[in-house]
C-alpha cells in the first residue's frame, strides 16, 4: 500500500477525488495525512474521515527556508512513499524538494511547459489559447519544470471565463491525478527514471 501525504491550499477537490476512490476500496494507495499552508477548506475532507492533518503557516516562520524545514518535518512524521501537491499554491523551498523528489508530484492546470506559475488558466486565456489542459509532473528545483508524467488537453471555449475554464480543467484533472497515483502505486509508472 503506497502511503501518500497530500498538500493543499484551497478547496481540495483533487484531494477529495483521491479520498473518495480510497473510500470505495481496492485502491493500491492510502492517504495517511493532509498538510496545508493555511486554513484550507479542503482539510475538512480529511478530518471528516479521521485522517490526520497539519497546518504550517509561513507567517509563523522567519523566511521561506525555515517554513520549508517545518513543513518537511511535519510531512516526514508520516513517512510517506509519495507526496502529492494538489493545489498547494506555494513554491516548495529547495530543501523540501531535495528531500522528497522524485517522490514528490504536482498537478498543474495547463499543458506544461506552457503557462507555468500561479495563474496558468488566466495566462492561457490572455494568450488567446484555443487549447490548454492539465499536467501531472515530478517537482524539481524549478517552478513547474519537472519531468512530465501525464498530460491531458482541454479545448478552450469561446468567451469562457477563467473560473469556467478552470472548473472544466479540474474535471479532467481529478481523474488524471487519480490514475497517476494509481499507476505509481501499482508500479506501472516509476518516478525518477
Ligand atoms: C487545481 O487546478 C490545481 O492544479 C491548481 O489549483 C487547483 C486546486 O483545486 N494548482 P482543488 O483545491 O483541488 O479543488
Are 28 and 61 contacting, i.e. CB atoms less than 8 angstroms apart? no
Sign of CA dihedral 163, 151, 24, 72: negative
Query: pLDDT tens, 43-71?
Result: 999 999 999 999 999 999 999 999 999 99
CA atoms within 13 A on the CB side of 98: 6
Determine whether the shortest distance from the Cβ of 14 to ligand 1 is under 6 A: yes
Ligand 1 atom nearest to CA at 10: 12
Residue 193 has pLDDT above 80, yes or no: no
Q: Is the CB of 122 under 6 A from ligand 1?
A: no
What digits encode the pLDDT tens for the residues 80-138? 999 999 999 999 999 999 999 999 999 999 999 999 999 999 999 999 999 999 999 99
SS3 171: helix
Nearest ligand 1 atom, CA 16? 13
- On whether the CB atoms of residues 21 and 181 are closer than 8 A, the answer is no
Q: Is 108 one of the catalytic residues?
A: yes
Q: Which domains does the chain have, with CATH numbers?
A: 2-186 (3.40.50.170)
pTM greater than 0.85: yes
Of 31, 87, 149, best ligand 1 pocket probe by most atoms within 8 Å of the beta carbon? 87
Amino acid at each position: 500500500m503506497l502511503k501518500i501525504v497530500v498538500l493543499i491550499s484551497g478547496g481540495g477537490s483533487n484531494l477529495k477525488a483521491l479520498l473518495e476512490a480510497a473510500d470505495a476500496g481496492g485502491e493500491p494507495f492510502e492517504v495517511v495525512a493532509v498538510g496545508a499552508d493555511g486554513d484550507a477548506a479542503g482539510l475538512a475532507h480529511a478530518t471528516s474521515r479521521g485522517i490526520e492533518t497539519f497546518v504550517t503557516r509561513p507567517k509563523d516562520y522567519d523566511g521561506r527556508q525555515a517554513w520549508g524545514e517545518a513543513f518537511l518535518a511535519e510531512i516526514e512524521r508520516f513517512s510517506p512513499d509519495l507526496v502529492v501537491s494538489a493545489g498547494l499554491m506555494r513554491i516548495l523551498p529547495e530543501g523540501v524538494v531535495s528531500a522528497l523528489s522524485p517522490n514528490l508530484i504536482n498537478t498543474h492546470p495547463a499543458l506544461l511547459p506552457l503557462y507555468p506559475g500561479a495563474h496558468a488558466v488566466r495566462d492561457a486565456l490572455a494568450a488567446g489559447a484555443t487549447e490548454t489542459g492539465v499536467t501531472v509532473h515530478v517537482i524539481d528545483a524549478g517552478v513547474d519544470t519537472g519531468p512530465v508524467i501525464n498530460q491531458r488537453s482541454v479545448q478552450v471555449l469561446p468567451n469562457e471565463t477563467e473560473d469556467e475554464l478552470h472548473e472544466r480543467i479540474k474535471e479532467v484533472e481529478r481523474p488524471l491525478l487519480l490514475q497517476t497515483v494509481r499507476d505509481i502505486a501499482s508500479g506501472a509508472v516509476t518516478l525518477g527514471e
